[in-house]
Amino acid sequence: MSVVNYRSTAEFLHRAETEKREVLRITADYPDMTVEDAYRIQEELVMIKLRQGHRIIGPKMGLTSQAKMKQMDVEEPIYGYVFDYMLVPNGGEIRMHELIHPKVEAEIAFVIGKDIEGPGITGAQVLAATDYVVPAVEIIDSRYENFKFTLTDVIADNTSSSRFVLGNRLINPENLELDLVGVTLSINGEIKDLGASAAVVGHPANSVAMLANMLARKGDKVKAGDIILTGGVTGAVMLAVGDTVSAKLDGLGEVGFKVVE
Ligand code: OOG
Ligand code: MG
C-alpha cells in the first residue's frame, strides 16, 4: 500500500489550479486515502495559498443538498475555504481563460457576528450568532478530469472552490423564514434549475452548525467576520463564454455575473 504525501499532493492540485489544467483524480493512485488524509492535503493547500499572500474569507460547506449529492454522486457534506482572490463583484465578470471547466450554483451566505465553537452546535445557535444573510452564487471548478471525483478527492481539492459572488443586500435573518426561500438559477434569461432553501440540510443554518461541529474536530471554530457559503440549493450548471448568470432568492434578492473569454 502506498502512503499519500500531503505536501506534494497539495502542490500537485495547486499547480492544476494555477496552470488551469485538469488532472487525474488522486484516488487513482491512492485508493485507500481516508477522509482524514484528504483534509490534511486540503490544509496543506490552504497553507500554500496563505503563503502566497491570499486571505481566507471563510470556510464553506459543500454537498449539503440532495440536488448536489445526487449530481456529484457523493453522499456526505464537506467543507473547504474561499479566499479573497475568488471574490467577484456582483454583476462583474468571470474570465473563462482563468478557469478549467467552471459550473455555477445558487447558495445562501451567512455573515457571522460572533465566534461559533462546536461540538454540539445547533441551527438556532448559529442564527443567534449571525449578523446577516446574503444571496450568493458559487463558481466551482474541480481540478479533476471531467469534474469526476470521490469524497476524498474533492475534499483534498478544497471542495472545487474557484470563484463566488455575493449580492448587495445584507438581510437580518430574523426577518426571514430562511428555510422557505425559493431559488431560481437562470442563464441568459432561461431558468436552468430551481429549489427551496430547506434543501440545504433542512435549513441553511444547520449547514453552518454542521461546519462548526466539523471544525471542532481539529480544534477550530467558525469566527466572527467569516462569510460562509452554505452549499448549493440547486444543482450546478456548466458555464460558457457569453453567459449572463442570475440567481434570484425570494426575500434576499438577486446576484449574478457574466462569463467572458
Ligand atoms: C464540490 C463542491 C460542492 C456545494 O455547494 O455543494 C459545493 C463540487 O460539487 O464540485 O460547493
Ligand atoms: Mg458550493
pLDDT digits (tens, 9 = 90+) for 44-87: 999 999 999 999 999 999 999 999 999 999 989 999 999 999 99
Residue 111's pLDDT band, with cuts at 50, 70 and 90, is: very high
CB of 68 closer than 6 angstroms to any ligand 1 atom: yes
CB of 157 closer than 6 angstroms to any ligand 1 atom: no
Which atom belonging to ligand 1 lies closest to the Cα atom of 142?
A: 10
Task: From 22, 63, 185, 207, give the residue whose CB has the most ligand 1 atoms within 8 Å, as the site to mutate.
Answer: 63
Q: Which of 119, 230, 112 is nearest to 164 (CA)?
A: 230
Using DSSP's 3-state secondary structure scheme, residue 118 falls into: coil
Q: Are 79 and 246 in contact (CB under 8 A)?
A: no
Task: From 108, 138, 210, give the residue whose CB has the most ligand 1 atoms within 8 Å, as the site to mutate.
Answer: 138
Q: What is the pLDDT of residue 51?
A: 98
Please say if the pLDDT value at position 2 is more than 70: no
Give the number of other CB atoms < 10 A from CB of residue 178.
Answer: 24
pTM: 0.97
Please say if the pLDDT value at position 1 is more than 60: no
Mean residue pLDDT of the chain comes to 97
> Strand 78-83 vs strand 237-238: parallel, antiparallel, or unpaired?
unpaired
Question: Which sequence spans correspond to the domains of the chain?
Answer: 6-260
Q: What is the pLDDT of residue 75?
A: 87
The per-residue pLDDT for range 202-257, each reduced to its tens digit, is 999 999 999 999 999 999 999 999 999 999 999 999 999 999 999 999 999 999 99
Q: What is the pLDDT of residue 3?
A: 81
The per-residue pLDDT for range 143-159, each reduced to its tens digit, is 999 999 999 999 999 99
Averaged pLDDT for residues 188-204:
97
Query: Is the dihedral angle over the CA atoms 55, 209, 139, 35 positive or is it negative?
Result: positive
Q: How far apart are CA 84 and CA 96, in angstroms?
A: 18
Secondary-structure class of domain 6-260 per CATH: alpha beta
C-alpha cell at 11: 502542490
Q: How far is CA 109 from CA 15, 147, 217, 243, in A?
A: 28, 24, 23, 23
Cis peptide before 89 (omega within 30 of 0): no
> Which residues crowd ion ligand 2, with CB under 5 Å?
138, 232
The per-residue pLDDT for range 9-49, each reduced to its tens digit, is 999 999 999 999 999 999 999 999 999 999 999 999 999 99
C-alpha 65: how far from its chain's center? 12
